[in-house]
């Protein structure tokens, strides 16, 4: 099974970029869009000057619980840049969503509770809400910084050549991401992870 098939079997269709989209990113943005692949993992991430965005992290079922995910995260943390990622909200009938959150909490990630993120999937045409998690490399990094980083990711990576690749465009960044400092819902506290 190739790397894309592994991702496609693990991630829901509404979260997946097409293989063509990822191939174009790996070619056109090879300075910043990186694929780290091994027999038991696939990691696709963006490395900017100030931050790293994990686009996809897959660890095979056979390797879960053996520290591979932790090693991959620690390798990124060693770069001493803020790390961002999107996760689906906890699903009541999906243990994986809970385990995923628990894993990131153990690795020192925080929930960007003031950021609302929901985009329409071009595959299903349904709104897909996501939560933003981040690992601050520096205590001065706050949710406003994370919000700015996420706007850049959405505009430069998620919607890159969307018209050409999908025959339609994703929503504008202003319609997808918003910052509300008064919003206090912390997914880690709420779910008692």
| Structural domains in the chain, sorted by start | 3-179 (3.40.630.30)
Residues 6+ apart with CB under 8 A from 6: 42, 58, 60
Give the three-class secondary structure for 138: coil
What pLDDT does 193 receive? 43
What's this model's pTM, rounded to 2 decimal places? Answer: 0.93
Q: Do residues 137 and 80 lie in contact, with contact meaning Cβ atoms separated by under 8 Å? A: yes
CA-based end-to-end distance of the chain: 33
Q: Are the C-beta atoms of residues 152 and 84 closer than 8 Å to each other?
A: no
Neighbours of 171 (CB within 10 A): 15
pLDDT on residue 189: 65
Output the pLDDT for position 190.
56
Strand 51-59 relative to strand 82-87, pairing: parallel
* Tens of each residue's pLDDT in the chain, 193 residues: 899 999 999 898 999 999 999 999 999 999 999 999 999 999 999 999 999 999 999 998 887 778 899 999 999 999 999 999 999 887 777 677 778 888 999 999 999 999 999 999 988 888 999 999 999 999 999 999 999 999 999 999 999 999 999 999 999 999 999 998 766 677 776 555 4
Q: Give the separation between CA 35 and CA 44, rounded to whole angstroms.
A: 5
- DSSP code for 158: I
Long-range contacts of 11-15 (CB under 8 A, 24+ apart): 11/56, 11/58, 12/88, 13/121, 13/123, 13/124, 14/121, 14/123, 14/124, 14/126, 14/128, 15/86, 15/88, 15/121, 15/128, 15/130
């Amino acid at each position: 099974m190739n790397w894309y098939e592994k991702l496609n079997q693990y991630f829901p269709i509404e979260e997946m970029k097409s293989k063509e989209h990822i191939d174009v990113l790996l070619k056109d943005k090879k300075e910043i869009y990186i694929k780290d692949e091994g027999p038991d993992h696939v990691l696709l991430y963006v490395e900017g000057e100030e931050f790293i965005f994990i686009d996809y992290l897959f660890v095979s079922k056979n390797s879960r619980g053996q520290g591979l995910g932790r090693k991959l995260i620690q390798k990124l943390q060693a770069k001493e840049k803020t790390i961002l990622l999107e996760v689906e909200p906890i699903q009541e009938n999906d243990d994986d969503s809970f385990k995923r959150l628990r894993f990131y909490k153990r690795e020192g990630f925080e929930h960007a509770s003031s950021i609302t993120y929901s985009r329409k999937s071009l595959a299903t045409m349904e709104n897909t809400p996501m939560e933003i998690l981040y690992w601050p490399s520096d205590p001065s990094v706050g949710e406003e910084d994370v919000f700015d980083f996420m706007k850049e990711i959405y505009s430069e990576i998620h919607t890159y050549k969307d018209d050409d690749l999908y025959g339609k465009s994703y929503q504008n960044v202003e319609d997808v991401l918003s910052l509300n400092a008064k919003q206090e819902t912390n997914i880690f506290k709420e779910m008692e992870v």
